[in-house]
Structure formats: C-alpha cells, structure tokens
Amino acid sequence: MNRLLLIALALTASGASAASYVTSNAAAKTATIVVDASQGTAGGGLNFNGVVKGAKSFTVPAGWNVVMQFKNLGTLAHSAVVIKGTTPPVSVTEKDAAFPGAHTSMVMQGLPMNAAATAKFKAATAGDYLIICGVPGHALGGQYLGLKVVAGAKAATYQ
C-alpha cells in the first residue's frame, strides 16, 4: 500500500467523524450525543458541532436515556440546554430545561474554554426540541441544534 493511499484512507476516516456525534445502544435504550460548542468559525463561533440555526438535528427514540457530552472548544463561555419548541428564546435558566437534567451546569454563565460536561436525561416525551446555548444572546445568534424525540424510532441519528 503506498503512502498516498494511506493518506487518502486517513482523510476518509477523519471525514467520517460526523457519524460519531451520535451513538445508539438499543439494548440499553441509550443515545449518546456529542455537542461541541464553538467548533470552528461558523456563526463567529456561536455554533454547535460547526453548524448554526438548527441546520442539523439529533433524533432520539421517545423514552430513551440520553447522555449529552458537551465540550467547549471556543474562547467564549458556552452551555447547552434542551428546550421545548423550535424557536430560540432570548434567555433561559435551568428551569426551562425540557427534561430534568437536560442541561449543563451554569446555563447562563456558560462553561469556560476547554470545559467538558455530561448531562443525562430521559427523552420522555415525543416532540420537537432545541439544544441551545443558554448564555444570553448566543441562541439568538444561531447557537442551537435540533432535537427530535420520536415515538417508535429504532435508533438515534444525527443529520
């Protein structure tokens, strides 16, 4: 195998990393989702997983447990909170979380650069939700992803 082919394979492997934003464990009814704040420059850094304004969404079967793995890759503070609906609000607090536990700590202040946090919650009720940054202004600036909780879905997806 020549060196160029190895490089091409390595690039293909790294290009496939989008799939790793979500993993499904049907036996345990658990979805693990990755929410990286400020990945690259989209939205001037006000993005999750490099996209803005709900351009991508997770789908999770209703009733599954969700493990949300949050990281802040940017220089500003960010947080992540799941809210009901499809319209980003002006501001939120922990109390606005759609499910118990569906938020990082310090929703409004945000977690600092390089911080990582894991939030665990049960996606108990089917419907349309957003995963937003709770730092005031960030969600309005486009820092949110979609989250669809779907009755009868067989696996968690991200697209």
User: Is 52 within 8 Å of 40 (Cβ atoms)?
Assistant: no
Q: Could you write out the three-class secondary structure of 124-151?
A: CCCEEEEEECCCCCCCCCCCEEEEEEEC
Compute the least distance from the CB of residue 68 to Cu ion, in Å: 15
Comparison of 22 and 135: residue with beta carbon closer to Cu ion: 135
Residues at the site binding Cu ion, with contacts judged by CB under 5 A: 78, 133, 135, 138, 143
Comparison of 32 and 36: residue with beta carbon closer to Cu ion: 36
User: Coil, helix or strand for 63?
Assistant: coil
Comparison of 47 and 157: residue with beta carbon closer to Cu ion: 47
Compute the least distance from the CB of residue 96 to Cu ion, in Å: 15
Cβ neighbours around 135 below 10 Å, total:
23
Compute the least distance from the CB of residue 144 to Cu ion, in Å: 9
Compute the least distance from the CB of residue 105 to Cu ion, in Å: 14
Comparison of 144 and 158: residue with beta carbon closer to Cu ion: 144
The candidate with the shortest Cα–Cα distance to 125, out of 34, 60, 69, is 60
